[in-house]
Amino acid sequence: MRFWSEETGQTALLIFLSFEMFLLFPLLQRGILLSLVNGFIFSLLLLAGLLTITRHPLLRGASVLFVVVIITVDWLREAGIPGLLLWDAVLSALGLAGLTVVVLWAVLREGPVTAHRIRGAIAAYLLLAVFFAYVYGLIEYVFPGALRFPEGVQAVKGELHQGFLYFSVVTITTLGYGDITPIHPWARSAVMLEAIIGPLYLAILVARLVSLGIETRKPRPSHEKSTRKG
């Protein structure tokens, strides 16, 4: 839990996430060990964040149970038990959404704006892209052919495939090369939602960080100072 109580954890998360997305993930695309390790690490980060935010015993117990279910389903699916691919993808997407909320809580809470917080905001932006990558995988699983890929590229249904991650990143940044095309209405809806969230996230984030910076640098009124001294 100290990972989220100290701002250096946000920098560490960004380094880990960047290394995984841009270097390790393309090299070990479908490695079982990589999938298990990543799922375990992200689950522990999610659990620590939820326990840091939540003080109610029932909510803490529910958080522990939720993370245990995520890890168990992921490991059972990797062990070859059939029928768990859809549940694993759904739970992974929910876990990433929860982790994104935890990171944003750490970034946007009261306090001075530091370089660690800015790096945490970038990490949350990347987590949003990973979350939508899982969403596209789920849509492709439920509606095969929902996204049209270039020739020679095959979508892996329900999993965090590099094609989905690439498509999510170019969508959230509104780059849109057009090499992957959403065909199904649900896929198009997800693309529109991500394309709207991307710029809005940056605009709202900048406004919040600027306001926090102004508040922390604003001099305190004289009566507050005298009250504190008294």
Please list the residues that pair with 148 across neighbouring strands: 181
The single residue listed with the structure tokens 């990347």 is 126
Angle ∠(202,9,116) on CA atoms, nearest 5: 45
Compare 157 and 162 and report the one with higher pLDDT. Answer: 162
Compare 3 and 194 and report the one with higher pLDDT. Answer: 194
Query: What's the pLDDT at 54?
Result: 80
Which tens digits make up the pLDDT trace of 192-222?
Answer: 999 999 999 988 888 888 787 777 666 655 5
pLDDT tier for residue 224 given thresholds of 50, 70 and 90: very low
Q: Which whole number is the average pLDDT over 23-32?
A: 67
- Rounded distance, CA 185 to CA 42, Å? 31
Which tens digits make up the pLDDT trace of 93-145?
Answer: 898 898 898 888 888 887 788 888 888 899 999 999 999 998 998 898 889 88
Sequence ranges of the domains in the chain: 2-219
Structure tokens at 145: 């052919």
Q: What is the mean pLDDT of the chain?
A: 82
- Rounded distance, CA 42 to CA 30, Å? 17
Query: What's the pLDDT at 86?
Result: 85
Query: What's the pLDDT at 198?
Result: 92
pLDDT tier for residue 171 given thresholds of 50, 70 and 90: very high
Task: Please state which of the four CATH numbers 1.10.287.70, 3.40.50.300, 3.30.470.10, 1.10.1060.10 is assigned to the domain occupying 2-219.
Answer: 1.10.287.70
DSSP string, 94-136: HHHHHHHHHHHHHHHSSS---HHHHHHHHHHHHHHHHHHHHHH
